[in-house]
């Protein structure tokens, strides 16, 4: 329970694992949930302009960066809607990627708790991150299945008795990245946000890839800090600081160059 009266679910670890396009180049503890919140690189094409009425600078974008940002913002604006067949199919695809040997009995099922959702209906948790948070999880499962399964089943490291819930943590990571990168603004107002848009102009899947890197980074910090569920907020803050630091390192030409990318395995 946080100081705003929100609720969250901690997952007790019983065993080491569960028992059972355009100018963009396409390559595609504060838990935010349905109830409340638990919630260096050169910039030759980006110029900072400080307004007299605004203490923070804004950054001009190239046409390619502006178009890519608008496309990403369109994704961010889509809420998860359980009545839309495409959203239903994506949720089923996530289950099949997570538990390929177990048949899903329904989109509303107690089985979802095994993935780290708060209840039997994941749609209530997606309200904090929208449809893009489901897309992020699905991208992770499809592109880095080994890391996805390791985190889902808590297979690496000396784990806490009370672990963070995998899926709800994923929604929170989506939410944190949107805030950190200032993606709902017309123009980025932070250096890290402007830097990210250079990556996005080169790779339309940059946000999804950064999500995967961040999830793995968060888990590594969780282990190094020997954290338990009450420490989730602290771990997320540390994750954000580390991610900002790595994004601004010199000689980083693409997301695959940042140090924590090496944590991911396919």
24 confidence band (pLDDT: 50, 70, 90) = low
Contact 170, 141 (CB under 8 A): no
State the greatest distance between any 2 C-alpha atoms of the chain, in Å, as a whole number. 59
Burial annotation 129-146 (CB, 10 A radius, 16+ → b, else e) = bbbbbbbbbbbbbebbee
For the ranges 108-117, 156-165, 168-177, the lowest mean pLDDT is seen at 156-165
CA separation for the pair 45, 62 (Å, rounded): 7
Q: What is the mean pLDDT of residues 17-30?
A: 44
CA separation for the pair 6, 20 (Å, rounded): 31
Contact 76, 130 (CB under 8 A): yes
Handedness of CA 166, 172, 178, 180 (dihedral sign): negative
pTM: 0.82
Q: What is the mean pLDDT of residues 9-33?
A: 43
Contact 98, 152 (CB under 8 A): yes
Across the chain, mean pLDDT equals 83
Q: Which secondary-structure segment (H or E) carries 259?
A: none
Predicted confidence (pLDDT) at residue 127 exceeds the cutoff of 60: yes
């Amino acid at each position: 329970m946080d100081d705003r009266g929100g609720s969250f679910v901690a997952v007790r670890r019983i065993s080491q694992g569960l028992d059972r396009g355009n100018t963009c180049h396409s390559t595609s503890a504060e838990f935010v949930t349905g109830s409340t919140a638990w919630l260096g690189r050169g910039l030759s094409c980006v110029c900072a302009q400080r307004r007299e009425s605004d203490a923070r600078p804004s950054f001009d974008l190239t046409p390619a960066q502006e178009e890519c940002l608008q496309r990403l913002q369109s994704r961010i604006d889509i809420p998860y809607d359980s009545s839309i067949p495409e959203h239903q199919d994506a949720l089923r695809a996530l289950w099949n990627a997570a538990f390929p040997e177990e048949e899903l009995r329904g989109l509303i099922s107690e089985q979802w708790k095994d993935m780290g959702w708060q209840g039997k209906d994941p749609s209530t948790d997606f309200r904090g991150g929208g449809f893009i948070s489901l897309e992020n999880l699905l991208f992770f499962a499809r592109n880095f299945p080994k890391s996805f399964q390791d985190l889902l089943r808590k297979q690496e490291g000396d784990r806490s008795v009370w672990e963070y819930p995998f899926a709800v943590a994923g929604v929170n990571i989506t939410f944190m990245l949107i805030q950190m990168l200032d993606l709902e603004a017309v123009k980025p107002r932070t250096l890290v946000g402007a830097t990210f848009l250079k990556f996005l102009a080169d790779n339309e899947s940059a946000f999804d890839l950064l999500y995967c890197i961040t999830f793995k980074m968060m888990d590594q910090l969780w282990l190094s800090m020997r954290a338990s569920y009450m420490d989730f907020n602290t771990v997320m803050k540390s994750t954000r600081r580390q991610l900002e630091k790595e994004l601004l390192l010199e000689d980083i030409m693409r997301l695959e160059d940042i140090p924590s990318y090496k944590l991911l395995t396919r």
